């Protein structure tokens, strides 16, 4: 019955979507993404294009909001309490193919991938002449574009499973591109990150924590992201090795204050230099996270609060240092990591050191290194001010996943972690027993894509 309901609504919604909003990156002329008047003809323009590409991740449909709120609401991390009917679909795991939020994420991912591919091709095609572009600049710009493409392909693979994977900017071929099997997409992510890692600079290693190094892709960021992606491809030895390289470049996690990550100190102080890669926002390029997480009394339009089970575990095990920086409230628990309602300048963390410790802990547990895994887990707990006692009867992987839910809450990880851990069916079945179905682990391909691409296929159940 649920499947029939989804199909029926998809047909009606698809017609409406086509009538009013039949547009995505494939419809738009290339010039709207990399305008000819700003064509890349030299090294300076190439560097500006690379910086602009990374800043596209600030979009509301990406890290500016939806990669955090959509995935959090699909999972048990966030509870929808607002008025947007599209968010009700996310909350109940009854998402339609016409859902605006899912459609927005899809479009922005592929618009940005298209721009990355355009930059790669245009910079590679520049004359082999240092007077036009130095070889080191050419390689650096291409590597930054590869990083952004890899990051977005990763999200596409985790949200939709099999995913379109355009590797060039050719309009005609991409208009009819078919979906690539999930595992192949993730292998392309690994390849892009490894290629980028060989070229990009290492970053500051946490010694200074300058914006220049934390707000652009670096080889350290590539290694950190590889330690995450390789868990999904079950390449645990490599995941451990990359995580170890990153951890070795930083001071002990204990020296970085958790609370400083979410305050103005993050922008200036070495106690917040744990952040490996983050997005900078200012008044002109702001995000809406605090606005949706805050009450009207504090200037927001409260759309999401902390899910009840996550809130319960956070209050019991969050730790004296981590708890007040992450959540606040009593009967209703509010997100506290994003606080600038007025200007929307909260930094968004893409990768930080604590995650890398937990990535290594998971890899080590999978490889049978329980002592090493436990040491990494307790390093994160100790910094959080949480208990460092581990019951011998507790399952180590379960503890690691629980710690990820606490440490990385409201940073866009929970939905992906539930899928990788194999916990998603049980957790979401308990969360939404009347509406949850196993095919809800994958989101629908947006309805409008079927009017644009004759080779696209839909996920089961939609």
Contact 300, 290 (CB under 8 A): yes
Kindly indicate whether the domain formed by 1-200 is annotated with CATH number 1.10.287.3510.
no
pLDDT tens, residue by residue, 155-178 = 999 999 999 999 999 989 999 999
pLDDT at 10 > cutoff 90: no
Structure tokens at 187: 């292998």
Domain(s) of CATH 1.25.40.390: residues in the chain: 1-200
Question: Positive or negative, the Cα torsion across 54, 417, 206, 317?
Answer: positive
* Fold adopted by 237-278+317-331+352-427: 1.25.40
Q: pLDDT tens for residues 348-380?
A: 999 999 999 999 999 999 999 999 999 999 999
Share of the chain above pLDDT 70, in %: 89
CA 432 to CA 93: how far, in whole Å? 8
d(CA 210, CA 204): 8
> Phi, psi at residue 304, to the nearest 5°?
-140, 140
pLDDT per residue as tens digits for the range 14-52: 333 333 233 332 233 333 345 544 589 999 999 999 999
Q: Which of 217, 124, 102, 222 is nearest to 169 (CA)?
A: 124
DSSP codes joined into one string, 268-304:
T-GGGTTEEEEE---SSS---HHHHHS-GGGT----E
Q: Which residues pair with 333 in a beta bridge?
A: 329
């Amino acid at each position: 019955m649920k499947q029939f309901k989804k199909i029926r609504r998809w047909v009606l919604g698809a017609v409406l979507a086509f009538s009013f909003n039949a547009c995505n990156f494939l419809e738009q002329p290339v010039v709207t993404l990399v305008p000819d008047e700003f064509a890349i003809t030299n090294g300076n323009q190439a560097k500006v294009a690379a910086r602009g590409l990374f800043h596209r991740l600030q979009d509301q449909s990406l890290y500016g909001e939806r990669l955090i709120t959509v995935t959090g609401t699909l999972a048990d991390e966030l509870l929808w309490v607002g008025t947007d009917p599209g968010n009700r679909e996310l909350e109940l795991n009854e998402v339609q193919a016409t859902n605006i939020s899912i459609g927005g994420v899809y479009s922005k991912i592929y618009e940005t991938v298209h721009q990355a591919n355009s930059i790669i091709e245009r910079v590679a095609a520049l004359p082999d002449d240092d007077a036009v572009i130095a070889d080191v600049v050419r390689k650096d710009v291409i590597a930054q574009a590869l990083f952004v493409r890899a990051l977005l392909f990763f999200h596409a693979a985790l949200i939709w499973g099999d995913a379109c994977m355009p590797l060039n900017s050719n309009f005609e071929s991409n208009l009819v591109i078919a979906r690539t099997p999930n595992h192949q997409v993730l292998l392309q992510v690994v390849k892009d990150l490894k290629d980028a890692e060989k070229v990009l600079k290492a970053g500051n290693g946490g010694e200074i924590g300058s914006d220049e190094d934390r707000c652009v892709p670096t080889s350290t960021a590539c290694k950190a992201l590889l330690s995450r992606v390789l868990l999904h491809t079950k390449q645990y030895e490599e995941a451990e090795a990359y995580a170890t390289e990153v951890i070795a470049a930083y001071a002990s996690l204990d020296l970085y204050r958790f609370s400083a990550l979410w305050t103005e100190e993050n922008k200036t102080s070495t106690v917040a230099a744990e952040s490996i890669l983050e997005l900078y926002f200012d008044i002109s390029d702001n995000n809406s996270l605090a606005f949706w997480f805050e009450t009207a009394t504090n200037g927001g339009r409260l759309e999401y609060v902390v899910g009840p089970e996550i809130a319960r575990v956070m209050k019991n095990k969050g730790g004296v240092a981590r708890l007040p920086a992450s959540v606040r409230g009593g009967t209703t628990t509010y997100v506290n990591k994003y606080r600038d309602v007025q200007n929307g300048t909260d930094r968004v963390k893409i990768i930080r050191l604590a995650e890398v410790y937990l990535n290594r802990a998971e890899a080590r547990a999978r490889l049978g290194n329980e002592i090493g895994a436990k040491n990494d887990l307790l390093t994160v707990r100790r910094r959080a001010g949480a208990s460092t006692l581990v019951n011998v009867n507790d399952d180590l992987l379960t503890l690691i996943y629980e710690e990820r839910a606490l440490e990385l809450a409201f940073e866009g990880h929970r939905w992906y972690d539930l899928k990788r851990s194999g916990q998603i069916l049980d957790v979401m079945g308990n969360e939404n027993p009347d509406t949850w179905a196993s095919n809800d682990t994958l989101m629908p391909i947006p309805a409008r894509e079927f009017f644009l691409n004759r080779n696209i296929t839909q996920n089961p159940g939609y």
